[in-house]
Amino acid sequence: MSNAFNDPAHAKLLKIWREMEVPGFVKEAQSVDEQDFSSVTVDHFADPANRLYPVNTKSNAWLSREHFSRDKSKLEKNAAEIIGKRIKKAAAFWGLDEPIRVREESGQPTIHHITIDGDHDKTKQVIDITGHYKSAAEQFVANRPSYSYDACRSFARQMLEAPADVKEPLEVETEEALCKMANYGSCMPDTARNAVFMRMCLVRKKDPEAFGQLTKVAKVITGMEGLMNIDVLHKVARLIDAVDRTHGLHVRYGRDINPPEQELFHFTEKRASAVRDEAVVLDDGTILNRLELLSMRDRVDEYFEKIAGEVSYEDDNQMIEALTKLHASEVPTLLNFLEA
């Protein structure tokens, strides 16, 4: 999910849809999530330093103007003025009409509660996140050792699935933590086995029964290949959680022990998307980071000038495309230029 509009949860986008008269060219344009903003050159953002508010298309310019109008009060005055001028210039370039509001924002936050099972007496715990979605998420993540794995899973899933008008933008670390708690991720068998082995070492002498259960799980995991099944990881996480809480290991979370979801679901869907967007795969299988390649454009230019005889590309996207078209036999020479 892109954060080019400073709206990762799309909460502001939905408000714009409700409150504004949305032009047809915006409704018919490629959706925000379908666009690859990493390929948009920095000069096509109204806030180039942070790669925010893209104005590369008429639709994006319209959306950036609406998002910025809701963000500018939170920005430093000089920065807001500069960004505002760039958006105004882009609006004139694309011939955007003045925005038309069809519904006023109520100003009252949507009332929303999250209910999770109590850890010990199985009573329901109600958490009111009305008007403070972000702070509620941050506080819960900070107090992770106080909650069981099941309680965390319940809380995180309800938070991530909360209505759009309840949500607020979260810090990357907080959103990642919620995704892991919600089981929206996976890991390789070695990672899961290591998490089990650590508990085996810690309880071997004082809890033979738990040690035996963990040993059986470790053996099953050893025979697995590829990313692990989510349902299997869920069962492993519940076992680890039970062992941790029985022996007081959960109080060490964040120090020398990680909570089960931190390791078992560490490769989240969000992280996978980021890796995919940043990776450039060459013909011989070499994987390079897109941003690092763009920062070394002078060396790439030098490679094509001296080896190919010309620089046939004009922008960053064309440069990346030219690199991916190199034959496997040409990659070692390219790498030598990049490492020079």
Neighbours of 136 (CB within 10 A): 20
103 in a domain, yes or no?
no
Is the same domain home to 167 and 192?
no
- Quick one: what percent of the chain has pLDDT higher than 70? 91
The 10s digit of each residue's pLDDT in 182-204 is 998 889 999 999 999 999 999 99
Residue 287 belongs to what H/E stretch?
A: strand 287-289
H-state helical runs in the chain: 11-19, 24-27, 58-71, 77-94, 133-142, 149-160, 172-181, 189-203, 208-222, 230-246, 260-264, 269-278, 290-295, 297-303, 316-324, 331-339
CB 6 within 8 A of CB 71: yes
Residue given tokens 């899973």 in the structure block: 153
Residue 2: the pLDDT is 56
- Can you list the residues of the chain whose pLDDT is less than 50? 1, 120
Report residue 146 as tokens.
Answer: 């106080």
R_g of the chain computed on alpha carbons = 25
* HSE-CB of 244 using CA atoms within 13 angstroms: 26
Domains held by the chain: number = 4
101 in a domain, yes or no?
no
Is the same domain home to 251 and 192?
yes
87 in a domain, yes or no?
yes
17 in a domain, yes or no?
yes
The separation between CA 319 and the C-alpha centre of its own chain, rounded to angstroms, equals 26
Is the same domain home to 301 and 261?
no
The boundaries of the domain holding residue 311 are 282-339
Is the same domain home to 226 and 189?
yes
Length of the chain: 340
The 10s digit of each residue's pLDDT in 320-334 is 989 999 998 999 999
Q: SS3 of 117, please?
A: strand
**Residue type at position 89:** K
Of 8, 93, 16, 98, the C-alpha closest to 56 is 93
1 in a domain, yes or no?
no
- pTM exceeding the 0.85 threshold for the entire prediction: no
118 in a domain, yes or no?
yes
Report residue 154 as tokens.
Answer: 């319940």
2 in a domain, yes or no?
no
Residue 123: the pLDDT is 63
Antiparallel, parallel or unpaired: β 287-289 and 267-268: unpaired
Residue 18: the pLDDT is 78
157 in a domain, yes or no?
yes
Report residue 194 as tokens.
Answer: 């290591």
- State how far the Cα of 35 lies from the Cα of 29, in Å rounded to an integer: 10
Is the same domain home to 302 and 318?
yes
Query: Which of 67, 94, 121 is where one domain is finished?
Result: 94
Residue 67: the pLDDT is 93
